[in-house]
Structure 1
């Protein structure tokens, strides 16, 4: 009887590939493998149970990756964000995240497809609803976000910094922020960081994180909190800006992956490690950040 169960596992794997709902197929196969492992365990064959669990996990991973390849595309959900994603002057997608995830898709043998949201705050809700396979938008790995999605290993260091106009001589350190208004955008890591500072007033009426620095440069708003990579790039276009200080320690951007796709997350983390070791990451970095 147990031999029959063992034979059924690869058969079930093949059947799972025909199930249109990818998550359902992986769950069915994983559940069957778990049941089989428990049978072996209670029959006092723990070594076989462990081996069976490993085999089942392997089948689930293979099924997931084959299903992704059958779909033919890896969908990157994004929001135009500094040099991480944008359209060039010919209307072609570009940016650090786009290049990295294009290489990842190529490794899987498929194409990268881009879907943009119109509002930064819609990234995670639309992702959860199934609009993409990966979030690639220069998104900081935050505990609050991890309640809803998984993140890849960190791939880009960052921290939140306070930026103001160089003509603002009254603001030179964090202690000078007391009683001041700092502008932020809902749903960003900047807002999360600002909420930990006592004695400041936070204005969240600004909706577009990409134009925060321009607004400071033009004098439309006084002080903002942004990620360090954005601040550094902003100084190139708006030399009348100055960084006051950081309000967080070192953080990391990560690629968002659904909690229902652990196999994709494992493949992505393996890929990120690989490109860091072989120099590919540095080449892409040098292309966008000199």
Structure 2
């Protein structure tokens, strides 16, 4: 009798385990898709650390987060030097780069870009007491600072006889101007304007006209299908009004 009871108990437990493992099995939640994004975290108002925090914010950061949410991605943003972004993409260390990166023919040889999401341009910044420089034409033979790997550096190197010094960030280039190490800085207009608005106007000003309208894009690995996916997400944000909300938040007006 005891053997029969033991047998029955064993059979019941076995069935219970089978039911738990098969018909009664709960479906496990699929892990979220992760979008690894690289940026250069000293390019306000596009990307910069929140005050008192290492967490990044800015137009670019919030835009890629919104695109990722639209597409069902968990977005992980990490900071690195601007000149390290394209090598990181090609090495597979990140999936996308958003960092106020101008779409150029040279860069398109190495990466694939999304559709443009912002139109910028270059400007010259000098000290307020520098009456001799009124435009880029007055920088021949002068000392110019720019952020390394940017179109600002490219423009600076096109100036006849100029001595060009590059820095990891545009803020560092501006500090060199403040300390008298250079005569001017060439960089992206919206970044210069933000810098001046945040206190840089105490010693510096921009001069001349905006140069060379430039379009920013999100870079992905060469020929990656991710570019089309990002375009789809961005288009949805434009349709539902979220893109305009972000643009107005960071630039004071809706995108024209």
For normalisation by structure 2, the TM-score amounts to 0.78
1:155 aligns with 2:117: yes
Q: Measure the CA separation in 2 of the matches of 1:160 and 1:166.
A: 19
1:258 aligns with one of 190, 206, 221: 221
Identify, as 1 or 2, the structure richer in strand: 2
Equivalent residues of 1:165, 1:216 under 8 A apart: yes
CA 1:100–1:194 in 2, change beyond 3 Å: closer, same or farther? same
Q: Measure the CA separation in 2 of the matches of 1:187 and 1:90.
A: 27
1:242 aligns with one of 192, 205, 211: 205
The corresponding residue for 1:177 is: 139
Equivalent residues of 1:181, 1:203 under 8 A apart: yes
1:115 aligns with 2:103: no
1:229 aligns with 2:190: yes
Instruction: Name which one, 1 or 2, has greater alpha-carbon Rg.
Output: 2
Equivalent residues of 2:142, 2:183 under 8 A apart: no
Q: Measure the CA separation in 2 of the matches of 1:156 and 1:200.
A: 32
Instruction: Note the C-alpha offset of 1:246.
Output: 4.2
Q: Measure the CA separation in 2 of the matches of 1:218 and 1:251.
A: 29
- 1:149-199: CA deviations, max 9, x gaps? 0111111111111111111111112332222121223311111222333x2
Q: Alpha carbon RMSD of aligned pairs, Å?
A: 2.0
- 1:4-44: CA deviations, max 9, x gaps? xxxxxxxxxxxxxxxxxxxxxxxxxxxxxxxxxxxxxxxxx
Equivalent residues of 1:184, 1:202 under 8 A apart: no
- 1:58-77: CA deviations, max 9, x gaps? xxxxxxxxxxx866211111
- Look up the SS of the partner of 2:187 in the other structure: strand
The corresponding residue for 2:108 is: 146
CA 1:71–1:109 in 2, change beyond 3 Å: closer, same or farther? closer
Structure 2: gaps (5+ residues): 1-29
For normalisation by structure 1, the TM-score amounts to 0.70
The corresponding residue for 1:210 is: 171
CA 1:288–1:113 in 2, change beyond 3 Å: closer, same or farther? same
Instruction: Note the C-alpha offset of 1:139.
Output: 0.9
The number of aligned residues is 219
Structure 1: gaps (5+ residues): 1-68
CA 1:273–1:245 in 2, change beyond 3 Å: closer, same or farther? farther
Identify, as 1 or 2, the structure richer in helix: 1
CA 1:205–1:77 in 2, change beyond 3 Å: closer, same or farther? closer
